[in-house]
Amino acid sequence: MLILVRHGQTDANARGLLLGRADPPLNETGYRQACALAAALPRAERIVSSPLTRARQTAALLAGAPPGTTDVEGVEVDARWIEMDYGDLDGRPASALDETSWRTWRQDPDFVPAGGESLAAVCARVREACLELADEAASADVVVVSHVSPIKAAITWALGVGHEVGWRMFLTDAAVCRIDTSGRVPLLLAFNGPCSGDGSDRAHR
């Protein structure tokens, strides 16, 4: 099973800011969410993480390390699972981009925000990573701790749909998605599952 986990909450998430390559740690709620994930999920044969701190802290807890740890044996860091680069928009509210530009971004996967990365580029790197994990995940649990855009990209890969479909998905903090890769084609079994946390989860791009 390919188990995709969004990291726990950060202060930027709680404030509704666009959070891409900026690298804040988990906040107190995020640690509670990550601890709930560690208690709820089975110990995986393989744990892969984005290189960003919020993802690595979440992955470390899933690997049995104490809170605050980022580098632990048993967690593999793969840069292909890093969040979309929002460029000049990173750390700013969604309202920082005008509605016309938002409309273009949602309709054109090749649109690149100033200094950032296109959705098509995110999907290309994530689909490559998914294909590399698919065979192993067909016979054992593989957990990937990542972010909203890469997880959405993995879902569009599993469903065989266009990149733009990701804009019609919503993921909460510490959400869990499950993809069965044992068949002829990937099968989405669960999307945006709860982390069994305190109910304060919020999601933002």
**DSSP structure class, residue 196:** S
Query: What is the average per-residue pLDDT within 63-88?
Result: 92
pLDDT tens digits along 156-170:
999 999 999 999 999
Whether the per-residue pLDDT at 205 is higher than 60: the answer is no
- List, by residue number, the catalytic residues: 7, 83
Q: Where are the domains of the chain?
A: 2-193
Separation CA 20–CA 44 (nearest Å): 27
Provide the CATH number for the domain formed by 2-193 in this structure.
Answer: 3.40.50.1240
Give residue 68's pLDDT. 80
Percentage with pLDDT > 70 across the chain: 95
Give residue 66's pLDDT. 86
Q: Burial letters for 83-111: b for 16+ Cβ neighbours within 10 Å, e otherwise?
A: bbbbeebbbeeeeebeeeebeebeeebeb
Give residue 73's pLDDT. 86
Task: Please give the distance of CA 96 from its chain centroid, rounded to a whole number.
Answer: 23
Torsion of CA 71, 76, 78, 84, to 10 degrees: -60
